[in-house]
Amino acid sequence: MMKVSGRILIRCAALTLVLTSGSAIQILDSIDDLKRINFGRSVPTHSLVLLHWFANTVTIDGYNGISLNFDPDSGDYGSHYYGNYEGLLPLGNNRYYTIGNIYQERGLQLPHHVVNPRPEYAGRNRARIIVRVRHQGRQGLQIIDEVYITQHYEMSDNQGTDYDPHQTFLITPNLLRQIRQFSMNGDQHLLMSLRNRFGSNVDDSQLRLIRNTWGSLACLGLLLRIVVQSGTSDRNNNLCNDCVLFMLLLLFIAFFILFGNANKQHA
């Protein structure tokens, strides 16, 4: 019983930390971490489509150095300077850029599947990637040391064009490497390998359906299936488990209250 109540107290403490620490940014280090994000509801699934494209566009070296192969000052891929005036990200002598404005027309354009994703994965141009540029490397490559996914507030929130700090996440090089395994092209063998490696419940018939539906973007389709649908199932299971644990805690408390009252009556 003490283990159960302790686990609940830990969960409650963690939840309180998230709710009361507006400046804290959650770190996403793996596909499993992505599953815990509420894609499709509080976070547009288009964020995941954009992140998949980004992971397969940048270069990552053996020292976790991430290089952009385009100039964000030029407006490539919907990029522009981000002043961080609202203090969303760490302050200091940092230079940030946002990437992913699908309506920005200058510079290199985002690929069609990012600009016009399948209807169920559209995000009304709210999703963005923010990078912190450290310096310019050899051959003119921009070296970045931090990557975030974020989103603009909903228009109904009346927050203007600010980004939502509660839906801003720091992306590690390890997560980018995992996403890069879901390359832009993949055969059936690769799809099966990725499914088995990242713990998806997709069966062989569903895998063939993904391949037939998504074609050359089948790996992206599988990533979305693993993160969005499997993640929803995992969150529902965790919620059910927490409810059971909470009920056990209430019963535990009620038992001690009744036991204490009974002892007082006999005293």
182-211 per-position pLDDT tens digit: 987 777 889 999 999 998 889 999 999 999
Among residues 135, 150, 180, the one where a domain terminates is 180
Q: Is position 127 within any domain? A: yes
Both 166 and 235 in one domain: the answer is no
Both 156 and 100 in one domain: the answer is yes
- pLDDT confidence of residue 160: 67
Both 146 and 225 in one domain: the answer is no
Both 42 and 4 in one domain: the answer is no
Least confident of 24-38, 137-151, 167-181: 137-151
Both 55 and 175 in one domain: the answer is yes
Angle between helices 204-214 and 188-197 in degrees, nearest 10 = 130
Q: Is position 62 within any domain? A: yes
Q: How far apart are CA 87 and CA 238, in angstroms?
A: 33
Is the pLDDT at 155 greater than 80? The verdict is no
Is this prediction's pTM over 0.95? no
Name the residue with higher pLDDT: 267 or 177. 177
Give me the domain span that covers residue 120: 38-180
**Beta-bridge mates of residue 150:** 128
Is the pLDDT at 263 greater than 60? The verdict is yes
Q: Is position 163 within any domain? A: yes
Q: Is position 33 within any domain? A: no
Q: With cut-offs at 50, 70 and 90, classify the pLDDT of residue 13.
A: very low
Number of independent structural domains in the chain: 2
Both 131 and 193 in one domain: the answer is no
**Beta-bridge mates of residue 82:** 96
User: Nearest Cα to 79, choosing from 114, 106, 56, 116?
Assistant: 106
> Please, which residues have CB within 8 angstroms of residue 261's CB and are 6 or more apart in sequence?
none
- pLDDT confidence of residue 154: 79
Both 62 and 152 in one domain: the answer is yes
- pLDDT confidence of residue 264: 60
Q: With cut-offs at 50, 70 and 90, classify the pLDDT of residue 96.
A: very high
Which value, to the nearest 10 degrees, does the dihedral of the CA atoms of residues 128, 132, 133, 134 take? Answer: -160
Q: Is position 116 within any domain? A: yes
- pLDDT confidence of residue 134: 86
Among residues 150, 180, 210, the one where a domain terminates is 180
Both 7 and 72 in one domain: the answer is no
Both 121 and 186 in one domain: the answer is no
- pLDDT confidence of residue 51: 97
Radius of gyration of the chain (CA): 22
Helix/strand/coil (H/E/C) assignment for every residue in the chain: CHHHHHHHHHHHHHHHHHHHCCCCCEEECCHHHHHCCCECCCECCHHHHHHHHHHCCCEECCCCCEEECCCHHHCHHHCEEECCCCCCCCCCCCEEEEECCCCCCCCCCCCHHHHCCCHHHCCCCCEEEEEEEEEECHHHCEEEEEEEEEEECCHHHCCCCCECHHHCEEECHHHHHHHHCCCCCCCHHHHHHHHHHCCCCCCHHHHHHHHHHHHHHHHHHHHHHHHHHHHHHHHHHHHHHHHHHHHHHHHHHHHHHHHHHHHHHHC
User: Taking a C-beta distance cutoff of 8 angstroms, is the pair 73, 104 a contact?
Assistant: no
Query: How high does pLDDT run on average in the chain?
Result: 81
